[in-house]
Structure 1
């Protein structure tokens, strides 16, 4: 198996910027593929998390109603959750909401409680899946943007920026470029990617003391809305925005939208007034012309597509993979040989609520004091089976340079440790 990646590292593109919520599917369209994939994946994630050291911060979530109209919509949302099999949900009154979260604005009227919505590490999960694939023989090709694809009746011949690749079966999971990649394989696009930018604000770690539960808005037909939540790294996050744009490679942040997010967070939790901001970032979600997963097959060509995977992709990844495999299996049952005992790669512990490497002896010193990242952790990432390809990948694997100073104090040491080890070397502007 070959994995073709246009970027220098796997943790790039749409995968790198999300709110890191493990979704139950309570508000997904009933009977949808999205719901089925999320719920199958949720169960599998909870089964493998201990073996792969994938953290879960059990917080629960509340869909909070702030207006009379929003409160009137909660019973419908509850009925949808129950229909979707998320039967532990319940509407709780204002007094119960404030008892659970006393720092919320007293304007809150009621909430739908969803006990099994939790937080996970958004980068360790895909890294674990990719590392397991590599341990099973997958080859990764980086900086390998697809240029053209030709089918000779039996085999695909792919022209990539890193050289030719031949394959009997191809799976298009190209995210923001999924429709264009499909056109290379089939000569037409069955869906259209419409990039949707989501901006986020990360408050200082001290802010996490003011909220324990994921705070969700009452959703609308276009977006799930702005979320206020802790992160597994000990911060407090607000976002995302939902901004349509043409560019597929420019997740820029903009001051008016960031200021609006901060104001929204303060409106919901007044104690956040004046709280320092540690970081801001934006991601582009591969929304399509229809609000649904665009998963389909051209089995006669050996072509399979997992497109239009939006904000629930982190949760749904394992379920999407299983669904695509079942599509392939319909035509290739004799070739489907399960791995009896798949390898279980161990991910590093980055979660703030769990014991970290700096607390164990022999770590060779702390390199990043903001996030308490040790030299041993950085060397382990660089020496791992699937090492980072660029500075962003190293940051996401270790949390280095992602704290209050954003690398101001540790970048020189990080650059020294990683010299000659990255496909894209650290440049001076990376400190900005």
Structure 2
């Protein structure tokens, strides 16, 4: 195992979607940046399990930092996704009211959306709801139509951010846990399980462990209270049953359970919202899964005709407040990015830009910046079910995973990329291999043959990471 002995301008702690975006942003500023992730790959924590919706911010708190970062992130994603070959599924969304109380809440949702600058949001009638979504259960009384809510690839996007950073000199280290931090006159010394890193600026993007990282040197200004969200993944044929993202009318405590197509051609149902103390375990609970199935079939009766092919759960880094917890400490050469909950995938690029501005506005010049004269843009593998995939192109080496139509060329390309996988979970997220309805039962032997000794961990059939 390589031992670290590094001296850099910036250390980003945490390789979730926000850490990936911050890593990219500071590298493109011209800093020497090192990303430290304690897991075996990016997205090893909270970011690997989400609904993959690109949010407009129509229902975010008006005037909030969360809204600003979401809308800035949305705008930047729309500007760069084609350059990086990242998919965008223009689903739209409908908030559906199923009772009078929910119907009465719809004008307020529209008013808030307009106050947030999302002026194309409109209230629609019962007839319009069923015109757009004929397979919904009887009983819907009306809805709110949100044209700009879309679905994206939740894994290729942050991988693209990291890849672009690496193309411009950024470096990363997986399986690298920060154990201690010590202030020095010109920055920080970080002790990790892989060695020592010295840096002039620390940016804490550690997600569910963010308060613990801050706690290594100060009393944290926030407390992580993990919130588990469980999802069901339905067979790909089910996605034909809806057109838009079907959203519930939110309550004071949760946005509720949604139905949504995925970029990979499935349909997901979820999430739950369960408070727990454990920061690491996101177990799937059978009784909660049955409750989700019941809720989903009451919204979309035809769901009972389709199989659940996978389940997953994620832990969102909620805190004691319903807001982002971003704290600059100019005197201490440290920035904390905490409490980034379910909107983090959309907001990540906006958060990164916000953190850049915090540094430029509030910090002394801690290091020189050598911005690239011209940006290089990575072209990510296309994993969208709605775009041309590699299996349809000649010379692909044959299909290895028939559930997800993953080719040998795609697997080899993942290992030859600028950010190759170092664990089986990373390979799955980069290619979708072994993530179909058989969970690797039929293809695992072929995958193992291709992988060879390039990964340290054993391929486990049926385990979705």
Q: Could you tell me the TM-score, scaled by structure 2's length?
A: 0.91
Tell whether the 8 Å contact from 2:208 to 2:226 is kept in structure 1 after alignment.
Answer: yes
Tell whether the 8 Å contact from 1:8 to 1:424 is kept in structure 2 after alignment.
Answer: no
* 3-state SS of 2:305 partner: coil
The Cα shift of 1:222 comes to: 1.7
Tell whether the 8 Å contact from 1:193 to 1:287 is kept in structure 2 after alignment.
Answer: yes
Residues 1:178 and 1:263: Cα distance change in structure 2 (over 3 Å): same
Tell whether the 8 Å contact from 1:411 to 1:431 is kept in structure 2 after alignment.
Answer: no
Aligned to 1:217: 248
Supply the RMSD in Å over aligned alpha carbons: 1.4
Residues 1:423 and 1:140: Cα distance change in structure 2 (over 3 Å): farther
Aligned to 1:236: 267
Does 1:371 find its partner at 2:404?
A: yes
What does the per-residue CA deviation read over 1:387-431, in whole Å, with 9 as the maximum and x for residues that have no partner?
A: 112111111110111111000001111112112212434356758
* 3-state SS of 1:50 partner: coil
> Among 232, 257, 277, which residue is 2:288 paired with?
257
List gaps (5 residues or longer) in structure 2: 1-32
Aligned to 2:323: 292
Tell whether the 8 Å contact from 1:377 to 1:398 is kept in structure 2 after alignment.
Answer: yes
The aligned runs of 1:17-416 (5 Å cut-off) are 17-184=49-216, 186-330=217-361, 331-332=363-364, 335-416=368-449
The Cα shift of 1:298 comes to: 0.5
Instruction: Provide the C-alpha distance between the structure 2 equivalents of 1:7 and 1:93, rounded to a whole number of angstroms.
Output: 48
The Cα shift of 1:11 comes to: 2.3
Instruction: Provide the C-alpha distance between the structure 1 equivalents of 2:317 and 2:141, rounded to a whole number of angstroms.
Output: 34
* 3-state SS of 2:210 partner: helix
Q: Could you tell me the TM-score, scaled by structure 1's length?
A: 0.97
* 3-state SS of 2:117 partner: coil
Instruction: Provide the C-alpha distance between the structure 2 equivalents of 1:128 and 1:262, rounded to a whole number of angstroms.
Output: 34
The Cα shift of 1:152 comes to: 1.3
The Cα shift of 1:343 comes to: 1.4
Instruction: Provide the C-alpha distance between the structure 2 equivalents of 1:332 and 1:358, rounded to a whole number of angstroms.
Output: 52
The Cα shift of 1:340 comes to: 3.4
Tell whether the 8 Å contact from 1:228 to 1:237 is kept in structure 2 after alignment.
Answer: yes
* 3-state SS of 2:145 partner: strand
Tell whether the 8 Å contact from 2:222 to 2:320 is kept in structure 1 after alignment.
Answer: yes
Instruction: Provide the C-alpha distance between the structure 2 equivalents of 1:421 and 1:400, rounded to a whole number of angstroms.
Output: 16
Instruction: Provide the C-alpha distance between the structure 2 equivalents of 1:144 and 1:429, rounded to a whole number of angstroms.
Output: 27
